[in-house]
Structure 1
Amino acid sequence: MTDFNSILQPVADDFAAMDHFIKTGINSKVPLVLQVSSYVVEAGGKRMRPLMSLLAARACGFDESQQDEKHSNHNLKLAAIIEMLHTATLVHDDVVDESGLRRGRPTANATWTNATAVLVGDYLIARAFDLLVSLKDLELLHIMSSGTCEIAEGEVLQLQHQHNPDSTEADYLQIIYGKTSRLFMIATEGAALLAHTEHLRAPLKAYGEHFGNAFQIIDDILDYTSDAATLGKNIGDDLAEGKPTLPLIATMQRVHNSDNEMIRRSIQTGGLSDLDKIVHLVKTSGGLEYCQFRAKEETELAIAALAPLPDSIYKESLINLAKLALSRLN
């Protein structure tokens, strides 16, 4: 299996320049905004969404040397904007979920206050759109603004289904479309738009959607099969928050009577007293296998969506990125 560094290598210079652009792009005159923004932006993570955007732009033939001075670094700016938006959603998520840990270290809301975290998240969104306007591309602005609305709707929809044991797989897919897949779609479709390859917008958008679906399903599987050190958060956090994710939905369809009622009750209350029993049921009922099948299916759809793209090292990296995400289940 190709490792992350090999996937990154074809756009390593772009990635480093983008990373620098993010850090210099946060230029608030308010010291606390700078302090908290820097903390959350530098909190780790592989920056998978901006990486995907950079790879997609190059896979579409974006060549910086062929751009005029006004457009030469637009691919870097788009990737930086994507990461700022992603970071803002994480900051807001942690406040909503009352999380104390993110990627193995204290969250912004735990380090400062909920109010500070929310307002700095707002700043990052506003700064992202400020940078976006500087690209002077109305269609890109439309993609980003409508997509951001759908991301917010996905988060509200998740809140609406919290503690609801009757949530279906269709409900779950609608939630993760907004909260996870939509930003991947913005990253890939936006890159095709910047590269002026209209015919590749739909394929790359589909890649982003299916990749995002697989990525979130895998994350939700790991909440019941991994460990706190690997996850950077506590096992069972989804259950404690009353989130009926696919592992629970699939398991409830396969168990009956008292076992089914136990899972329903735990979702309704967010109680963890039966966590060990529920983890056992997820692993033994067939629910886990179904989720693994769905993650593999979405990964294969993502890879298939790239077929119209010309062969290149960048396309190969996009394929390997999807395979690497799936390998987290091994």
Structure 2
Amino acid sequence: MTSTTAIPLADPALAERLTDRLALVEERLRDAVAHADALADTASRHLVNAGGKRLRPMLTLLTAELGDGARREVLDAAVVVELTHLATLYHDDVMDSAPLRRGAPSAHEVWGNSVAILTGDLLFARASSTVAGLGPEAVRIQSATFERLCLGQLHETVGPRPDEDPVEHYLQVLADKTASLIATSARLGAMFAGCPPHVVATVTAFGERIGVAFQLADDVIDLTSDGSVTGKTPGTDLREGVPTMPALLLRARAAGPDATDEDHAALALLDADLSGDEALAAAVAALAEHPVVELTRQRAVALAHAAAAELAPLPDGPVKDALVAFADLLVDRAS
């Protein structure tokens, strides 16, 4: 099986085409973040140079193969979604106080919070400039996606209302903060490749489901893998009080009538002062060994299977096979 990105590509001809096109996207991406101002140029290139899976542009290129994937607009759309994603990372890392991103120091660790936030804004501006060339419908889709990204971050920051279920609130945060851009990545690829509306709708629905599954799988991986796998410090979300599915499920269990000593002990570690590395490591270890991680994995697997089921209307072939394989890969990652 050939794979140069997060999406497995078993068909050699498809893999070669997409690898070549992704290289073009990479060139355009680097051109898009270039600035005459030296500080803006260096800060904007920081995360581009750190690499990454390029999942979103690859998904755009892949769904475009359901139509005419060689169109120039497809490449521009792929640049737009990755620029948008990179911009969110600059902002997220400030809000989460994350010291690492993609194995490199986060931008705010290098230049401070203000420069990191403004750099994210600059990347949003470049994404907007690029999408403007794709027409009003693309601008509308990008704007709606940007709104959902902001709402997801806002709702994560303020937390659930007193009458709101924390788990359902978290799933909606993931849908807005993560799945919205993945769905848009799939949608723009099919749309600008000239696919019929039902195909565009199918890959968009796939992106919505797979995006939530992707983040739930990351919740598992963040607790069960070391930083060399994730490119960031394990337990960063726990330290900053950012909810994840395992932590939310643990709180629900500990508050229930059937709570065990193990539940209470793990929650005590989670609620301790996690500013020290030893305390954080103890909380991560306790949560990683708790049954709530398996429950989170099961949710991720169920959503990945549901995403694959969304693909039923697509014609059989290497593109559909690759999308199904991506869903299967998420299952494997979370296991």
Give the TM-score taking structure 1 as reference length: 0.88
- Cα deviation for residue 167 of structure 1 reads 6.0
Are the equivalent residues in 2 in contact too, given 1:2–1:320 (CA < 8 A)?
Answer: no
1:279: Cα distance to partner?
Answer: 4.2
Shift of residue 231, structure 1, vs aligned partner: 1.9
Deviation at 1:103, TM superposition (A): 1.5
Structure 1 residues 286, 201: closer, same or farther in 2, change over 3 A?
A: same
CA distance in 2, matches of 1:274, 1:110: 22
Asked if residue 300 in structure 1 is aligned to residue 305 in structure 2, the reply is yes
- Corresponding residue for residue 43 of structure 1: 50
Which residue matches 2:29?
Answer: 22
Question: Residues 257 and 324 of structure 1: is their aligned pair in 2 closer, same or farther, counting only changes over 3 Å?
Answer: closer
User: Structure 1 residue 203: deviation in Å?
Assistant: 1.1
1:266 match: 270
Deviation at 1:314, TM superposition (A): 2.0
Greater Cα offset, 177-186 or 285-294? 285-294
Counterpart in the other structure of 1:328: 333
**Residue identity matched to 2:138:** L
Query: Residue type of the partner of 2:184?
Result: I
In structure 2, the CA distance between the partners of 1:101 and 1:280, relative to structure 1 (3 Å rule), is closer
Out of 171, 175, 179, which is 1:173 matched to?
171
* Distance of 2:293 and 2:69 partners within structure 1: 43
- Cα distance change of structure 1 residues 150 and 47 upon mapping to structure 2, 3 Å threshold: same
Q: Are positions 1:62 and 2:62 aligned together? A: no
Instruction: Provide the alpha-carbon RMSD of the alignment.
Output: 2.5
**1:142 to 2:140 alignment:** yes
5+ residue gaps, structure 1: 65-71
Amino acid at match of 1:75: V
In structure 2, relative to structure 1, the CA distance for the partners of 1:235 and 1:25 (3 Å cut) is closer
> Which is further off, 143-152 or 187-196?
187-196
Write the distance in 1 (CA, Å) between the matches of 2:34 and 2:242.
37
The residue aligned with 1:187 is 185
The one of 141, 151, 154 equivalent to 1:153 is 151
| Structure 2: segments with no counterpart, 5+ residues | 10-14
- Counterpart of 1:220 in structure 2 is 219
Shift of 1:146: 0.7
State whether structure 2 residue 88 is matched by structure 1 residue 89. yes
Does the CA contact (< 8 Å) of 1:242 and 1:266 recur in 2?
no
**Is contact 2:266–2:287 with CA below 8 Å preserved after alignment?**
no
**1:283 CA displacement:** 4.5
**1:199 to partner: Cα distance:** 1.2
- When structure 1 is superposed on structure 2, of 226-235 and 290-299 the one drifting more is 226-235
* 8 A contact 1:18–1:80 mirrored in 2: yes
Query: Could you tell me how far apart the structure 2 residues matched to 1:139 and 1:268 are?
Result: 49
Deviation of the 1:284 alpha carbon: 4.8
Instruction: State the distance in 2 between where 1:254 and 1:2 align.
Output: 42
Give, in whole Å, the separation in 2 of the partners of 1:223 and 1:63. Answer: 35
CA distance in 1, matches of 2:133, 2:69: 20
8 Å Cα contact 1:104-1:233 kept in structure 2: yes
CA distance in 2, matches of 1:276, 1:29: 43
Distance in 2 between the 1:156 and 1:73 partners?
Answer: 35
Alignment partner of 1:313 is 2:318: yes
Structure-2-length-normalised TM-score:
0.87
Answering whether residue 38 of structure 2 is matched by residue 31 of structure 1, we say yes
Letter in 1 for 2:264: N
Deviations 1:216-270 (A, max 9, x none): 0011111211112222222211110112211112233334266438627835865
Identity of aligned residues (%): 33
Q: How does 1:210-289 map to 2 (within 5 A)?
A: 210-255=209-254, 256=259, 259-260=263-264, 263=267, 266-267=270-271, 275=280, 278-279=283-284, 281-289=286-294
Deviation of 1:152 after TM superposition, in Å, equals 0.8
Structure 1 residues 7-54: Cα deviation after superposition (integer angstroms, max 9, x where no partner): 254411111111111111234222211111112212111100110111
**Cα drift, residue 73 of structure 1:** 0.7
Measure, in 2, the Cα distance between the counterparts of 1:252 and 1:245: 11
1:100 is the counterpart of 2:99? yes
Secondary structure of 2:90's counterpart equals helix
Note the C-alpha offset of 1:204.
0.8
- Tell me which amino acid in the other structure corresponds to 1:327: D
CA displacement 1:155-195 (0-9 Å, x = unmatched): 11111129x9x962101101111111110011111222213
| Structure 2 Cα separation of the partners of residues 252 and 84 of structure 1 | 36
Instruction: Quote how far apart the aligned CAs of 1:276 are.
Output: 5.4
Deviations along 1:94-114, one digit per CA (max 9) or x if unpaired, are 111122211111111111121
